[in-house]
Structure formats: structure tokens, C-alpha cells
Chain A
Amino acid sequence: MRDSALETVTLVYLARLRDAFGAAHESVRLPDGIATAAELRHWLAQRGGVWATELAPGRAVRIAVNHDMAQPDTPVRPGDEVALFPPVTGG
């Protein structure tokens, strides 16, 4: 259990993206070459369908890595929690 958690990334989907993807979270094993927030987004978009639509270039998607807002080049590593969500609307 512990070993597998260290090998995978926990993906969290929030708000509109959770509704669109039909899931709140999942664990994925990153393939070789997927090591940043932008690469992860592009990789997920290749699933097609709503993934391609919601994560298309130009769509406003925010990514947080381990609860901190990420930049496109922010590293993503096994064991991380990576959240994808639309621009925030609190306050």
C-alpha cells in the first residue's frame, strides 16, 4: 500500500472539472516524460472526450501541486497530490 502510494500521483478534480470528469480523484502512474504540471495536463487531455475539451490549450485550468499553486514548469513527482480546477470564484 505504502509502496504503491509512493509510485503514483494522486489527482484531485474540483468544481466544474469534477462534474465534467465524473470523478473527484484518482491515482495514476506517470509515464516516462511526464514530469511537470503542463506535461501532466497535456497527457490527461490525450484521453480525449471531456478530457480533451476541458484541458484543451487556451481553457483556463489551474493546477496545484501539494496544495500550492503551480506554474506550467512546476515539477510533478510520484507521491505528489496534484489538483486540477477552474479559476477560483470565492469571496
Chain B
Amino acid sequence: MPVRIQTADLDVGRELDALRASDPRVGAVAAFIGTVRDVNDGRAVAAMTLEHYPGMTEKALTAIVDEAKARWDIIEALIVHRVGPLAPSDQIVLVGVTSAHRGQAFAACEFIMDYLKTRAPFWKKELTPDGARWVEARASDDDAAARWDVAPEPGA
């Protein structure tokens, strides 16, 4: 299952072992792990809650994996994204990509994260000394996604 959403923590070593064990053609594994910072936009972050849109989230992440597979010569890709309450230093997301050679895996891994940041329906709510606040999207994330010739995120 290349896409998973869960409240529980994830074991990076176990996930990547399973990912590459699935195919002996694998010669490269690229991985990205996103974690909770204790400071965001100048405010201390004591805790965070991640919300998503069940039904759409799985569909959006699967579409991102499919797009990565269409663009690069990769063997498999994995996205595990956590939801629910998280604390600083907790793991949020793991993206793992396997390929025969490293270039394809590196590029596809970065693409998946850039695409996820602007297309997958997750929202962060931070607890700061000033109270709880929804995290605002960053223009730099749109720029990062646009690098891949992805159309700007549609508004309506």
C-alpha cells in the first residue's frame, strides 16, 4: 500500500526496508522525513494538530504517487502521513522512493513532497503562547510545486 494516513508514529527503518524488499531491481532508496518544529513564524509551538479530509486525502496522495511514477523511472513510492495531535520533534510525514539509480529516486522524492505540500488536503493547527492558530499556507510552497511545471493550485 503506497499511501497511508495514520495517527500512530512510524518506524522509518521498517518502512524503507519493506519498500525496498519488494523488488530486487532496487539500487537506490531516497527518503524525506518531515518533523514538527518548535518554532513557526516567530512563535513557540507547544503542540500541533493535523487535520485532513478523509476520502479526498487518499485519492490525492495516490494521484501524486501515480504522477511521480509517470514522470520518473522509479520502482515504488511510499507516502505515510500522520494526522491528529503531534508534539515538537514528532515525525509528520515519510516519503520513500526506490529506483535502480539514485537520480530518479532523488527527483521523484522531492517532487512528491512539493506536490503534497500544495495538493494534499492536510491542515496544521498550532498551539502557541497566544493560543491555537491555523497555519497559513506559504507562497514558497506554490513556487516549489511550480518548478515541476505543475499548474498553480486551482482556486475557485
Q: Min CB distance, A86 to chain B, in Å?
A: 7
> What separation, in Å, do the CA atoms of A62 and B154 have in the docked complex?
7
Taking CB atoms, residues of chain B closer than 8 Å to A38 are: 156
Q: Min CB distance, B47 to chain A, in Å?
A: 16
List the one stretch of B12-20, B22-30, B120-128 in contact with chain A.
B120-128
State whether the Cβ of B74 lies closer than 8 Å to any Cβ in chain A: no
Question: B154 near A70 (CB under 8 angstroms)?
Answer: yes
Chain A contact-residue range equals 20 to 34
Question: B156 near A71 (CB under 8 angstroms)?
Answer: yes
Taking CB atoms, residues of chain A closer than 8 Å to B124 are: 89-90
- Among A41, A61, A86, A89, the one with the most B-chain Cβ atoms within 10 Å of its Cβ is A89
Question: B59 near A67 (CB under 8 angstroms)?
Answer: yes
> What separation, in Å, do the CA atoms of A17 and B113 have in the docked complex?
25
> What separation, in Å, do the CA atoms of A62 and B134 have in the docked complex?
15
Question: A14 near B51 (CB under 8 angstroms)?
Answer: yes
Taking CB atoms, residues of chain A closer than 8 Å to B118 are: 87-88
Closest to A76 in B: B156
Take A14-B53, A68-B59 as given contacts and tell me if A87 and B134 are in contact as well, using a CB distance cutoff of 8 Å.
no
8 A Cβ contacts from A67-86 to B: 67-72, 74, 83, 85-86
8 A Cβ contacts from B100-123 to A: 113, 116-123
Take A38-B156, A72-B155 as given contacts and tell me if A91 and B59 are in contact as well, using a CB distance cutoff of 8 Å.
no
8 A Cβ contacts from B57-78 to A: 59-60
> What separation, in Å, do the CA atoms of A19 and B113 have in the docked complex?
27
Q: Min CB distance, A83 to chain B, in Å?
A: 6
Question: A85 near B122 (CB under 8 angstroms)?
Answer: no
Question: A64 near B122 (CB under 8 angstroms)?
Answer: no
Please, could you name 24 A-B residue pairs with CB atoms under 8 Å apart, sorted by A?
A: A14-B121, A15-B123, A15-B125, A16-B123, A37-B156, A61-B155, A62-B155, A62-B156, A64-B53, A67-B56, A68-B59, A69-B153, A69-B154, A71-B156, A83-B53, A86-B123, A87-B153, A88-B117, A89-B136, A90-B92, A90-B93, A90-B123, A91-B93, A91-B116
A residues adjacent to B (C-beta < 8 A) = 12, 14-16, 19, 37-38, 41, 60-64, 67-72, 74, 83, 85-91
List 9 A-B pairs, minimum CB-CB distance, nearest first. A90-B122, A87-B137, A15-B123, A67-B56, A63-B156, A37-B156, A16-B134, A89-B135, A91-B117
